[in-house]
């Protein structure tokens, strides 16, 4: 996938973000319906220290990096 | 190594917590262990501060080390400080990370903004990080070179239904400078050598730009459990292309929580990678780092957590406490990296295979 192709994917994302300015869409999951989502087991990152360490292991053993939603640091692990 | 600043849903600061973790990586003749300690505390209504201290104690006799160098010990220390500022539905986060080892110093500054919208169903996050690394060489005290890194990220977290949440993250990373390992060597055909090959220094391009698009979906099962799927596509200017996918299951049972995960990763090699070059300086760029070769990895994880402090039996100001353990088993099949420790003749060496165990033990406290 070229950089241009990735940017084409980015455009719909930015458009979607732009729609945030439109107040016409009503939230389809009301606050009182979010009990299950608030359960600790549903957190996207339950233990940040643990997941950060595992991500560090994979970045040191593989050639891919990023795309997992957290900012990165550097190390001489190559 | 990372410090996460900001939460998946803006409008709420992350909870105050302390995590004390012990990590251990064993495999490929390498043992790396050490602590990671994280402390997060809210200061006033709008600010959350976070600090992390992390150490890698390395003892290495890996295949690269055994075939071209000698076993060594090393220690890398990293510390980070971060702050999240919440104003209405907007969270701004900044962090500073510094790590040091005998031949590599890294400094990273990062900044991100998260915005809640659509009645808190959607969170948009924009992030930027700047890294400044200094590469040294233990064999040459006069050697010093720099790397500059920049990370650009955009992410969206979306509540899809009352039982499902998803996230999409796009990240571009650019590097410029001395991007290879000053100790690693490449091998090339040499009829004058008894083994049939000789070694020379790696030579990498001075720039690298990568793009990664990751998506994650988490689903709440009606009997109280969670199922998670994840996929990431990666590509870069070194011609590495990869697909990573994983599936995970979390099952709570009273104060216990059990989790399991399987992860698959497959990548092509960098365009300048060769297991064996045709001759000395045969190409403009050359590398033999197995992490940049074509490979497939499989990882299985089992984890368990026990909540020994809860709201019902709080310890003073500590309202929740857990003890956690997890084991990852990592298996990597290299499609174009030979195991030179074998006595096979050139061209007949077996392909290398790596097995590693990653163990974590940690306590988490919320207060």
* Dihedral-angle region of residue A55 (phi above 0 means left; psi in -120 to 50 means alpha; beta otherwise): alpha
Residue A19 carries which DSSP code? G
Q: Kindly state the average pLDDT of the residues B170-187.
A: 90
Percent of the residues in chain B that have a pLDDT greater than 70, as a whole number: 93
Measured in angstroms, the CA of B32 and the nearest CA of chain A are apart by 10
Give the model confidence (pLDDT) of B188-226 as tens digits.
999 999 889 999 999 999 999 999 999 999 999 999 999
Structural domain boundaries in chain A: 29-62
What confidence score (pLDDT) does residue B180 get? 82
CA distances from B280 to B186, B189, B244, B300, B348 (A): 9, 8, 35, 41, 21
CA distance B277 to B283: 8
Per-residue model confidence (pLDDT) at position A63: 94
The pLDDT of residue B178:
87
* Chain B interface mutation, best of A55, A71, A75, highest count of B Cβ atoms under 10 Å: A71
B142: its two tokens? 């006069």
- CA separation for the pair B129, B100 (Å, rounded): 18
pLDDT 10s digits, A39-77: 999 999 888 899 999 999 999 999 999 998 754 445 555
pTM of structure: 0.88
pLDDT-based confidence at residue B272 (cuts at 50, 70, 90): very high
Interface subset of B 1-20, CB within 8 angstroms of A: 1-5, 8, 19
Q: Using the beta-carbon criterion (under 8 Å), do A44 and B129 form an inter-chain contact?
A: no
Which token pair is B218? 């988490």
Burial class (CB in 10 A: 0-12, 13-18, 19+), B348: exposed
- The answer to whether B118 contacts chain A (CB < 8 Å) is yes
Q: Around Cβ B44, how many Cβ atoms within 10 Å?
A: 7
- pLDDT of residue A5 exceeding 80, the answer is no
Give the pLDDT of residue B7: 37
Please check whether residue A49 is in contact with residue B18, taking contact to mean a CB–CB distance below 8 angstroms. Answer: no
Per residue in B95-117, pLDDT (tens digit) is 999 998 766 788 999 999 999 98
Query: Is B313 a residue whose pLDDT tops 90?
Result: no
**pLDDT tier, B92 (very low <50, low <70, confident <90, very high otherwise):** very high
Helix (H) or strand (E) holding B38: strand B30-43
Residues of B in contact with A20 (CB under 8 A): 115, 117-118, 122, 124
User: For chain A, how big is the Rg over CA atoms in Å?
Assistant: 18
Alpha-carbon torsion B20, B26, B30, B31, what sign? positive
Residue-level pLDDT at B1: 43
CA B170/CA B157 separation, integer angstroms: 12
pLDDT of the residue at B347 = 82
Contact between B183 and B200 under an 8 Å Cβ cutoff? The reply is no
Give tens-digit pLDDT for B21-78: 999 999 988 899 999 999 999 999 999 999 999 999 988 766 776 677 667 778 889 9
Among B5, B132, B162, B265, which would you mutate to test the A interface (most chain A Cβ atoms within 10 Å of its Cβ)? B162
Average pLDDT (B321-330) is 97
| ipTM rounded to 2 decimals | 0.91
The tens digit of pLDDT for each residue in A20-29 reads 555 567 788 8
Q: Are B302 and B260 in contact (CB under 8 A)?
A: yes
What are the phi and psi torsion angles at A32 (to 5°)?
-80, -5
* Å between B198 CA and nearest CA of chain A: 22
Q: Among B336, B263, B341, which Cα is nearest to B29's? A: B341
Mean pLDDT, residues B349-354 taken together = 94
User: Which residues does B191 contact at the CB level (< 8 Å), separation at least 6?
Assistant: none
pLDDT at residue B135 in the model: 78
What Rg do the C-alpha atoms of chain B give, in angstroms?
Answer: 23
Task: Summarize the confidence of residues B292-301 as an average pLDDT.
Answer: 98
Domains of chain B: 17-366 (2.40.160)
Own/partner long-range contacts of A12-15 (Cβ < 8 Å, ≥24 apart): A13/B154, A13/B156, A13/B168, A13/B170, A14/B154
Which residues in chain A have Cβ-Cβ distances shorter than 8 Å to B99? 73-75
Residue B118 has pLDDT above 90, yes or no: no
Tell whether B23 is within 8 A of chain A (Cβ): yes
**Chain A contact present for B304, CB below 8 A:** no
Average pLDDT, chain B: 91
Q: In the structure, what pLDDT confidence band is assigned to residue B297 with cuts at 50, 70 and 90? A: very high
């Amino acid at each position: 996938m070229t950089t241009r192709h990735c940017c084409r994917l980015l455009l719909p994302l930015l458009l979607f973000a732009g729609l945030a300015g439109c107040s016409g869409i009503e939230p389809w999951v009301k606050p009182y319906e979010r009990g299950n989502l608030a359960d600790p087991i549903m957190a996207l990152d339950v233990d940040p220290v643990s997941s950060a360490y595992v991500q560090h292991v994979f970045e040191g053993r593989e050639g891919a990096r990023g795309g997992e939603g957290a900012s990165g640091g550097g190390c001489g692990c190559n | 190594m990372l410090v996460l600043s900001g939460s998946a849903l803006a409008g709420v600061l992350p909870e105050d917590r302390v995590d004390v973790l012990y990590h251990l990586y064993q495999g490929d003749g390498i043992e790396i262990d050490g602590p990671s300690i994280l402390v997060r505390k809210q200061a006033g209504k709008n600010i959350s501060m976070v600090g992390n201290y992390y150490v890698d104690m390395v003892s290495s006799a890996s295949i690269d080390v055994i075939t071209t160098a000698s076993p060594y010990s090393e220690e890398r220390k990293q510390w980070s400080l971060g702050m999240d500022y919440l104003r209405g539905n907007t969270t701004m986060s900044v962090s500073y990370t510094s790590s040091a080892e005998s031949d590599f110093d890294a400094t990273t500054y990062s900044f991100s903004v998260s915005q809640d919208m659509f009645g808190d169903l959607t969170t948009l996050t924009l992030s930027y990080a700047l890294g400044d690394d200094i590469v040294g060489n233990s064999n040459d005290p006069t050697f010093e070179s720099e790397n500059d890194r920049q990370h650009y990220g955009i992410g969206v977290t979306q509540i899809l239904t009352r039982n499902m949440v998803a996230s999409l993250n796009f990240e571009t990373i650019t590097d410029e400078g001395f991007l290879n390992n000053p100790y690693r060597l490449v091998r090339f055909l040499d009829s004058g050598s008894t083994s049939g090959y000789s070694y020379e220094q790696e030579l990498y391009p001075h720039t690298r730009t990568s793009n990664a698009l990751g998506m994650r979906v988490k689903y709440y099962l009606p009997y109280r459990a969670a199922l998670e799927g994840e996929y990431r596509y990666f590509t870069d200017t070194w011609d590495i292309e990869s697909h990573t996918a994983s599936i995970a299951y979390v099952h709570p049972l009273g104060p216990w929580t059990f989790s399991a995960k399987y992860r698959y990763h497959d990548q092509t090699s960098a365009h300048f990678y060769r297991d064996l070059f045709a001759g000395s300086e045969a190409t403009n760029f050359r590398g033999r780092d197995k992490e940049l070769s074509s490979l497939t990895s499989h990882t299985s994880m089992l984890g368990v957590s026990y909540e020994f402090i809860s709201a019902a039996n709080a310890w003073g100001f500590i309202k929740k406490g857990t003890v956690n353990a997890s084991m990852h088993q990592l298996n990597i099949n290299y499609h174009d990296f030979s195991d030179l420790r074998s006595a096979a003749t050139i061209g007949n060496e077996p392909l290398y295979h790596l097995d590693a165990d990653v163990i974590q033990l940690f306590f988490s406290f919320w207060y």
